[in-house]
Chain A
Amino acid sequence: MTWHSFFNLSTMQNRHLLASYATVLIIQGAYVGWIAWNWFRTKNTHH
């Protein structure tokens, strides 16, 4: 498989493969982003 065929949306197989990988990366990325956002918003009482 190549980058070109990975992003080829002409078949259901390719669309579903891309959708599942994108889902994983989006959910994990959004969660770690949410933690990081709250991390900087929460007062650090150690300093």
Chain B
Amino acid sequence: MEQRNPTLRSVAWLWFGIAIAVLVVGFRQAIFLTPADAAQGDVGRIFYYHVPSAMWSLVFPYVNFIASLFYLYWRKRDPLKALTADAMAIAAAEVSVVYSSICLITGSIWGRAAWGIWWTWDERLTSELLLFLLYVSYLMLRRFSSTGQAQTLAAVISIFAAIDVPIVWMSIRWWRTQHPAPVFFGGPDAGLDKSMMPAFVWNIIGWGIWGIFILIFRFALERRRQLAEQEAALQAIEASLEIPQ
């Protein structure tokens, strides 16, 4: 174990460094190198932070969903493996909240400048808000429930969130909403101008590498917390078994 930790730490620092480097390049591309949008001007540059966050906010819920399924499968069969799955589930739920909140806030700021409104109850915005609220309720349930069934109930919420994700993705295809039509996989008229591609690609890769970094870091923290809790429980049991002299 003593050999393992320094290696993992080096990999984590390397991953962190790569994430920062890619994000710096992405920022430079988005702000300084890509020409301003012909229709929107400089405010169109919000695209390079809003869209990658929005797309990743639809990926991390599935990490949570898969981890929750493993938790439900293992909770009776192998409680130690279930704990590991649960640590990944809570990490992915928090990262989902981070990315979906960024998507909602940057979208709102952009909407005010581009449409003249902060918010509208259209299908894309509402389904993304629902995704955010589902994960907030997931985390609140984990934090405040005292039933002992919090992990199982939270795993059920993660199933609802996994159902909402394809609705978010398809909402601008199924309904004509205030939100712009899909840029990717949206038919013959969809697509991104060639001049916008480098900034978009650097940022979607950068925020993806960053997201994986914070996911693994949060998972490692949760495992550390679980192991500390187990050790404290064992010490308490040992202390209670000691025969008073």
Contact = CB atoms under 8 A, between A and B. Distances in A.
Contacts of A21: 27, 31, 46, 49
B214 A20 contact: no
A27 B137 CA distance: 19
Contacts, number: 88
B224 A23 contact: no
B53 interface: yes
A5 B105 CA distance: 22
B102 A23 contact: yes
Contacts of B1: 46
Contacts of B31: 1, 6, 21
Nearest to B210: A28
A17 B46 contact: yes
Given A39-B221, A45-B231, A1 B102 contact: no
30 contacts: A1-B32, A1-B42, A1-B45, A2-B32, A12-B113, A13-B41, A16-B110, A16-B113, A17-B42, A17-B113, A20-B50, A20-B106, A20-B110, A21-B27, A21-B49, A23-B105, A23-B106, A24-B53, A27-B101, A28-B98, A36-B217, A39-B220, A39-B221, A42-B224, A42-B225, A43-B228, A44-B228, A45-B230, A45-B231, A46-B227
Top 8 nearest A-B pairs by Cβ distance? A13-B43, A16-B113, A20-B106, A43-B228, A20-B109, A45-B227, A20-B46, A45-B231
Interface of B: 1, 5, 27, 31-32, 36, 41-43, 45-46, 49-50, 53, 94, 98, 101-102, 105-106, 109-110, 112-113, 210, 213-214, 217-218, 220-221, 224-225, 227-228, 230-231
